[in-house]
Structure 1
Amino acid sequence: MAADDPLAGYGSLAEATDPYCLAAGEAARLLAGHPWKRFAVIGDSVASGVGDPVPGYVELAWCDRIRFELAAQQPDLVYLNLGVRELRAAEVRATQLDEALRFGPDLALVVAGGNDALRRSYRPDETDAELAAMVTALQEAGADVITVGIFDASYAPSFPVAVKPQVSERMMTLSRRTAALAARLGTLHVDCTGHPAERDPGSYSADGIHGNLRSHGICAALTVRRLGTHLGR
Structure 2
Amino acid sequence: MTVYANVGAPPGGAPAVEPSVPGPLRYAALGDSLTAGVGDRVEGGWRGWAALLAEALTPDGATAHAPMGGAAPHPEPLAPFRNFATSGALTRDVRTEQTPAALAFGPDLASVVVGVNDTLRRAFDIAAIARALDEVCAALTARGTVLLTACLPDPGVMLGLPAPLARPLARRQRAVNNLVHALTARYGAVHLHAADPAWVADRSLWSPDRLHPGERGHRMIAARFHAMLTARGLTLGPPPPQEPERPPPTRTEALLWLATAGTGWMVRRSTDLLPELLWLAGAEMRHWARGTAARLDLRAEHALSRALTALPPPHPLARMGE
Q: What interval of TM-score do these two structures reach, taking the shorter chain for normalisation? A: 0.7 to 0.9
Deviation at 1:202, TM superposition (A): 4.1
Distance change (3 Å), C-alpha of 1:108 and 1:21: same
**Alpha-carbon distance in 2 for matches of 1:128, 1:137:** 14
Deviation at 1:156, TM superposition (A): 1.6
**Alpha-carbon distance in 2 for matches of 1:35, 1:145:** 19
Percent sequence identity is 27
Q: Which 4+ residue blocks in structure 1 deviate beyond 6 angstroms?
A: 32-35
Distance change (3 Å), C-alpha of 1:141 and 1:65: same
**Alpha-carbon distance in 1 for matches of 2:83, 2:234:** 27
> Which runs of structure 2 are paired with 1:39-58 in the superposition (5 Å)?
39-52=27-40
- Kindly provide the amino acid, as one letter, of the partner of residue 163 in structure 1: L
Distance change (3 Å), C-alpha of 1:36 and 1:206: same
- Kindly provide the amino acid, as one letter, of the partner of residue 49 in structure 1: G
2:147 maps to 145
Secondary structure, in 3 states, of the residue corresponding to 1:145? strand
**Residue 76 (structure 2) pairs with residue 79 (structure 1):** no
**Alpha-carbon distance in 2 for matches of 1:154, 1:67:** 31
2:25 maps to 37
The unaligned stretches of length 5 or more in structure 1 are 1-18, 23-31
CA RMSD across the alignment: 2.9
Secondary structure, in 3 states, of the residue corresponding to 2:58? helix
2:100 maps to 98
Contact 2:24/2:80 (<8 A) preserved: no
Cα deviation, 1:27-54, whole Å, max 9, x if unaligned, reads xxxxx98865211111111111111459
Contact 1:39/1:79 (<8 A) preserved: yes
Contact 2:148/2:189 (<8 A) preserved: yes
Between Structure 1 and Structure 2, whose CA radius of gyration is higher? 2
1:191 maps to 193
Please, what TM-score do these two structures have when normalized by structure 2?
Answer: 0.56
- Kindly provide the amino acid, as one letter, of the partner of residue 91 in structure 1: D
- Kindly provide the amino acid, as one letter, of the partner of residue 177 in structure 1: L
2:274 maps to none
1:107 maps to 109
Distance change (3 Å), C-alpha of 1:102 and 1:53: closer
Distance change (3 Å), C-alpha of 1:20 and 1:127: same
1:10 maps to none
The number of aligned residues is: 202
Cα deviation, 1:108-162, whole Å, max 9, x if unaligned, reads 1111122112335321121111111111111112211111112333222364554
The unaligned stretches of length 5 or more in structure 2 are 1-6, 11-19, 64-78, 236-322
Contact 1:118/1:167 (<8 A) preserved: yes
